[in-house]
């Protein structure tokens, strides 16, 4: 293998690598973007359910037309996925079964039907039916530019719709009841959004297959959520993560023989999620752990400072030294020695030899400050005199408060 | 404004019945909400209070009966009515901030496809200032306390500039400061001639806050001015047998105003 | 609230024992439904019930057994034996059979367990074992296992036909003469086929004798008839062709200036199409020379629905595609 630069250049020059990488990137982008809404609406399972529900659609499309053209099979997948989504909505609306249960049931039933049909077709002995089951696992490496154009077209239409209906989708995802009272047709918007997600699933089916598609709907969005609190940034970041996973997965799978592309893409997406879960600044686990450690350190310092101060006060001298044991007795459960060493290196305490420890003048000041810190935090601010109501004439506040 | 000056009622409900399965949730409810009032809807759990609000808003289909907003169906009068849902009805971990949520209240005025712009921002900021939340405009909503979230919801309702406000338990789980802020806003609304209907859970504050009250327990137990209707007898009928504690409250003379009950701290 | 002194059963409690009984009955029924072991003697005048797997074997057994056998082939035209899973009706057919012929070498990868279990109660013969070790090719991917596509070399299949004859004679000595006659006739046909294939292949110039297919099924063909073979997918169709596999195949196709590449009836064509597009992007025109029968034969009733027809079709397709340009 030549240099890294030559390898990266291959992405542009080599047809196969270029096609597969582009296809995987489009898949990642579209599923990240549309999957964000599924995740935010607590419908993460929807991607899984829809991709499994697509299987009978693929098989029936083949049975009806006898053709294995990708467009035909994708239309079949779209129809079945869409039917499944409608069924889910219907059952949720009409019964008390919770949504995740319904999604699971639809997933299992549709997929089971699909498998039965698939097995039946395979046994018919028709010489043309092979290859339907590749929809189960995807065949990313066998993409040709024609497929990529189809993915780009369908995906692009979906992205355009999201851009157009941005505020409607945001409102729908946050507070559908409120949206209804504003006059928005919530049912229709629901159908639109779900259809877009089904489209994303179908676009990705040929690349990563039924079983793995659910990961692509969920992972980029889940990872993106960790890094931002703004919806627009989250959705863009999810699209970016998806595209990144697609690209890296395709590239890595091209490094050696026999590496399947679909699973590699999903692995890369999972890696991004893992990193996001651990290392995102505000919501990441590592950050939270570090903050907690810092807080505990602060608390220990305060406790030791105050203990030393309290002990010293009885002698009238804030810097009076005391035995380590005395300090320990004052604040059980704290690693006093370690904290004292840290305080010493900060110039707030001093060891006088033989396990005697006392505050320095700076330390005494700090201890005093700590003791009064609670007084600094005022109560939550009370509203001041009500300002004039913006939409009508000025009113006298005195008249308002009886 | 489509408010009609000939004395038609903000909300007129006739024979309203809602049933999910065999058990009715609301039964034969008749209600006239007077103009410019602060009305409380109280009742035990499962009495149908939230259901009543949602049915008025067309979120739930009734089995029978009708609702009129100033003599017209709700679907024709949407812009006159603002809804403040229960705080627990949304996921507060949604990636958005306070200002964004309040701007959502203007989406109805914007209509399809149009994006919110500087006007919407300004109106939203004004509404947030009204409820004392202007400093939290850019704060992620999951970082807000319960009371702050409630105030954001209130701002969202305010920004709709409606004639009628339907609120579902706006005082639920809020601190004293927030409660004061909310009732202040409600009184301003009333002073401006709006009609406010509130599902309320704290019987203690009904006489102090509200002009009218509806005692609801699937059926209408009693409705009317607080002074007339909020009696031990009616409460007993609404809540069933165990109302000794509630009775004591109803028999108390008019409780002290909020200022004096907070240990002399000025407000 | 009054409580009765003796707790009476609620309706649910009363139903519970009945439910348990019902459950037990269902389980018993399911257990009884296991197809029983059939211990049918080989004597008797009815035809022998034979079950086979791939069509190539079914065809040979029909020829060698003639009227003495009633053959059921589990895998028909276009069926991929590498991933084929036996259904319950297949299993009952297997249990009902008197003798079973399958390929072995993990061609029917998902049925190996079934065959091992059945071998306890009746003859289940892996016909591939008839080949001498010298004739077997190692699987390129799995060192301890053999490449199962032995029927691609007609000479191998002649050995297999002989094996089937011998097994039928051992099972049913009474009709040994019939089997010998049938086998002799069929072997003569196979011999003719072999000669014809050699002759056809000889017309292709040496540098053109490169066979590129979807999966790696043609090593025995290559060995028997002096070809080179390349395939992006491995020995089993279960393996997925990766990006690197496809690129390497494109490299070979371009470097060696190969004019034609072949799809297979039992394998999806998209990998092959991707190779064609990839080669085109590099300025090398390659076309799909035709569809080959690799793991399965053609439709029953058509000429390609027999072993001889299948080989003829393959060789004709390969020859015309590679020879023409």
The minimal CB distance from A392 to the residues B97, B129, B192 is found for: B192
Task: Quote the minimal CA–CA distance from B158 to chain A in Å.
Answer: 10
User: What helix, strand, coil percent values describe chain A, rounded to 5?
Assistant: 75, 0, 25
The minimal CB distance from B184 to the residues A379, A380, A383 is found for: A383
Q: How much is the pLDDT for B242? A: 60
**Cα separation of A165 and A156, whole Å?**
14
End-to-end CA distance of chain C: 100
Angle, helix C243-255 to helix A231-253, in steps of 10 degrees: 50
Q: How much is the pLDDT for A208? A: 86
**Cα separation of A248 and A6, whole Å?**
16
Tokens of C173: 């000595």
CA distances from C222 to C198, C201, C217 (A): 12, 11, 10
pLDDT in tens, C163-218: 999 999 999 999 999 999 999 999 999 999 999 999 999 998 888 889 999 888 99
Q: Binning pLDDT at 50, 70 and 90, where does residue A279 land?
A: very high
Q: How would CATH label the architecture of C197-322?
A: 3-Layer(aba) Sandwich (3.40)
Domains of chain A (ranges; CATH) run: 2-283 (1.10.3470.10), 286-401 (1.10.10.10)
Arithmetic mean of pLDDT, B45-62: 92
Q: Binning pLDDT at 50, 70 and 90, where does residue A399 land?
A: very low
Whole-number percent of chain B with pLDDT over 70 = 87
**Cα separation of A204 and A224, whole Å?**
20
Q: Which helix (H) or strand (E) holds C69?
A: strand C69-73
Q: Do B192 and A382 touch (CB under 8 A)?
A: no
The pTM assigned to this predicted structure is 0.79
Q: Do A134 and C282 touch (CB under 8 A)?
A: no
Task: Quote the minimal CA–CA distance from A167 to chain B in Å.
Answer: 7
CB B213 within 8 A of CB B206: yes
The minimal CB distance from A16 to the residues C267, C274, C300 is found for: C274
Fold of C14-28+45-195: Rossmann fold (3.40.50)
- In this model, does residue A354 exceed pLDDT 90? no
Q: Binning pLDDT at 50, 70 and 90, where does residue B103 land?
A: very high
**Cα separation of A32 and A65, whole Å?**
32
**Weakest-pLDDT range from A278-287, B59-68, C83-92, C194-203:** C83-92
Q: Which residues of A touch B (CB under 8 A)?
A: 40, 42, 164-168, 170-171, 173-175, 177-184, 225, 228-231, 234, 379-383, 386-387, 389-392, 395, 399-402
The minimal CB distance from C268 to the residues A19, A131, A258 is found for: A131
Per-residue three-class SS string for chain B = CCCCCCCCCCEEEEEEEEECCCCEEEEEEEEEECCCCEEEEECCCCCCHHHHHHHHCCCCCCCEEEEEECCECHHHCHHHEEEECCHHHCCCCCCCEHHHHHHHCCHHHHCCCCCCCHHHHHHHHHHHHHCCCHHHCCCEHHHCCHHHHHHHHHHHHHCCCCCEEEEECCCCCCCHHHHHHHHHHHHHHHHCCCEEEEECCCHHHHHHHCCEEEEEECEEEEEEEHHHHCCHHHHHHHHCCCCHHHHHHHHCCCCCCHHHHCCCCCC
Q: Is A15 on the interface with C (CB under 8 A)?
A: yes
Q: Is A119 on the interface with C (CB under 8 A)?
A: yes
Average pLDDT for runs of 10 along chain C of length 325:
49 68 71 48 71 94 92 87 86 92 92 89 91 86 85 94 94 92 95 94 88 90 91 78 87 90 84 91 90 87 90 93 71
Helix/strand/coil for C219 = helix
More confident residue, B261 or C297: C297
Whole-number percent of chain B with pLDDT over 90 = 73
The minimal CB distance from A228 to the residues B78, B95, B126 is found for: B95
Q: Which helix (H) or strand (E) holds C126?
A: strand C124-126
For chains A and C, CB pairs below 8 A equal 118
More confident residue, A183 or C234: A183
Q: How much is the pLDDT for C88? A: 85
Which site among B38, B79, B85, B94 would you substitute to test the A interface, given the most A Cβ atoms closer than 10 Å to its Cβ? B94
End-to-end CA distance of chain B: 35
Q: What are phi and psi of C130, to 5 degrees?
A: -65, -25
Domain with CATH 3.40.50.1980 in chain C: 14-28+45-195, 197-322
């Amino acid at each position: 293998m030549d240099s890294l630069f030559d390898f990266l250049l291959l992405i542009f020059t080599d047809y196969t690598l270029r096609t597969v990488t582009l296809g995987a990137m489009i898949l990642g982008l579209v599923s990240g973007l549309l999957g964000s809404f599924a995740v935010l609406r607590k419908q993460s399972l929807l991607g899984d359910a829809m991709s499994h529900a697509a299987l009978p659609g693929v098989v029936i499309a083949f049975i009806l037309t006898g053709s294995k053209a990708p467009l035909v099979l994708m239309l079949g997948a779209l129809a079945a996925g869409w039917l499944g989504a409608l069924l889910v909505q219907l059952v949720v609306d009409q019964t008390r079964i919770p949504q995740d249960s319904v999604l699971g049931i639809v997933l299992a039933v549709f997929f089971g039907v699909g498998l039965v049909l698939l097995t039946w077709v395979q046994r018919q002995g028709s010489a043309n039916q092979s290859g339907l089951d590749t929809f189960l696992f995807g065949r990313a490496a066998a993409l040709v530019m024609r497929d990529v154009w189809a993915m780009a077209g369908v995906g692009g239409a979906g992205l355009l719709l999201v851009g157009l209906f941005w505020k409607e989708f945001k409102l729908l995802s946050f507070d559908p009841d409120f949206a209804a009272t504003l006059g928005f047709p919530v049912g229709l918007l629901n159908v639109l959004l779900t259809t877009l997600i089904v489209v994303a699933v179908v676009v990705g089916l040929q690349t990563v297959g039924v079983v793995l598609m659910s990961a692509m709907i969920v992972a980029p969005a889940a990872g993106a959520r960790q890094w931002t609190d703004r919806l627009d940034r989250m959705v863009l970041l999810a699209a970016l993560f998806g595209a990144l996973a697609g690209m890296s997965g395709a590239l890595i799978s091209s490094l050696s023989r026999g590496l399947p592309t679909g699973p590699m893409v999903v692995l890369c997406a999972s890696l991004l999620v893992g990193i996001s879960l651990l290392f995102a600044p505000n919501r990441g686990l590592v950050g939270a752990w570090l903050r907690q450690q810092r807080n505990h350190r602060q608390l220990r310092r305060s406790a030791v400072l105050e203990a030393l101060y309290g002990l010293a006060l009885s002698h009238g001298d804030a810097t009076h030294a005391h035995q380590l044991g005395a300090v320990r007795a004052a604040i059980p459960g704290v690693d006093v020695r370690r904290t004292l060493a840290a305080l010493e290196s900060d110039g707030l305490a001093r060891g006088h030899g033989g396990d005697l420890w006392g505050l320095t003048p700076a330390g005494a000041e700090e201890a005093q400050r700590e003791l009064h810190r609670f007084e600094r935090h005022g109560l939550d601010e009370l509203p001041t005199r009500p300002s004039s109501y913006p939409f009508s004439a000025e009113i006298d506040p005195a008249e308002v408060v009886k | 404004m489509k408010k009609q000056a000939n004395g038609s009622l903000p909300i007129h409900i006739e024979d309203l019945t809602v049933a999910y399965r065999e058990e009715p949730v609301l039964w034969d409810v008749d209600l006239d909400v007077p103009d410019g009032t602060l009305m409380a809807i109280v009742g035990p759990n499962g009495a149908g209070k939230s259901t009543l609000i949602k049915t008025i808003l067309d979120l739930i289909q009734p089995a029978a009966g009708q609702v009129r907003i100033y003599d017209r169906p709700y679907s024709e009068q949407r812009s006159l009515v603002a809804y403040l849902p229960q705080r627990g009805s949304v996921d507060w971990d949604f990636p958005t901030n306070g200002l964004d949520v309040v701007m959502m209240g203007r989406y109805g005025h914007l209509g399809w496809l149009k994006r919110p712009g500087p006007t919407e921002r300004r109106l939203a900021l004004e509404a947030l200032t009204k409820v004392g939340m202007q400093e939290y405009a850019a704060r992620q909503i999951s970082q807000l306390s319960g009371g702050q979230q409630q105030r954001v919801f209130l701002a969202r309702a305010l920004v709709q500039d409606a004639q009628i406000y339907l609120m579902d338990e706006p005082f639920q789980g809020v601190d004293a400061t927030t409660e004061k802020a909310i009732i202040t806003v409600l009184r301003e609304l009333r002073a401006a001639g709006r009609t406010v209907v509130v599902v309320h859970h704290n019987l203690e504050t009904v006489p102090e806050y509200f002009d009218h009250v509806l005692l609801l327990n699937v059926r209408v137990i009693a409705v009317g001015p607080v002074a007339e209707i909020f009696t031990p007898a009616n409460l007993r009928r609404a809540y069933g047998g165990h109302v000794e504690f509630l009775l004591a409250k109803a028999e108390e003379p008019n409780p002290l105003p909020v200022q004096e009950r907070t240990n002399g701290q000025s407000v | 609230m009054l409580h009765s002194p003796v707790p009476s059963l609620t309706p649910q409690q009363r139903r519970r024992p009945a439910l348990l009984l019902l459950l037990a009955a269902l389980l018993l029924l399911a257990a009884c439904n296991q197809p029983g072991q059939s211990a049918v003697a080989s004597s008797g005048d009815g035809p022998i019930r034979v079950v086979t797997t791939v069509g190539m074997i079914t065809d040979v057994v029909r020829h060698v057994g003639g009227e003495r056998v009633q053959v059921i082939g589990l895998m028909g035209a276009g069926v991929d034996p590498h991933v084929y899973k036996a259904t319950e009706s297949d299993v009952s057919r297997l249990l009902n059979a008197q003798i079973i012929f399958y390929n072995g070498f993990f061609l029917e990868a998902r049925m190996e367990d079934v065959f091992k279990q059945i071998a306890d109660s009746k003859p289940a013969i892996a016909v591939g074992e008839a080949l001498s070790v010298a004739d077997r090719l190692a699987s390129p991917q799995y060192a301890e296992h053999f490449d199962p596509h032995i029927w691609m070399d007609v000479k191998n299949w002649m050995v297999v036909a002989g094996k089937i004859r011998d097994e039928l004679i051992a099972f049913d000595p009474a009709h040994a003469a019939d089997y010998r006659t049938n086998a002799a006739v069929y072997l003569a046909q196979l011999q003719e086929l072999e000669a014809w294939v050699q002759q056809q292949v000889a017309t292709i110039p040496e540098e053109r004798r490169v066979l590129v297919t979807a999966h790696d099924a043609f090593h025995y063909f290559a060995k028997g008839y002096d070809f080179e073979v390349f395939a992006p997918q491995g020995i089993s169709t279960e393996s997925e062709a990766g990006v690197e596999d496809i690129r390497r195949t494109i490299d070979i196709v371009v470097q060696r200036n190969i004019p034609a590449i072949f799809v297979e009836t039992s394998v999806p064509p998209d990998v092959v199409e991707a190779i064609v597009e990839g080669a085109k992007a590099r300025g090398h025109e390659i076309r799909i020379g035709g569809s080959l029968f690799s793991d399965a034969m053609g439709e029953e009733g058509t000429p390609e629905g027999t072993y001889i027809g299948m080989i003829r079709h393959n060789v004709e397709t390969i020859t015309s595609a590679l020879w023409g340009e």
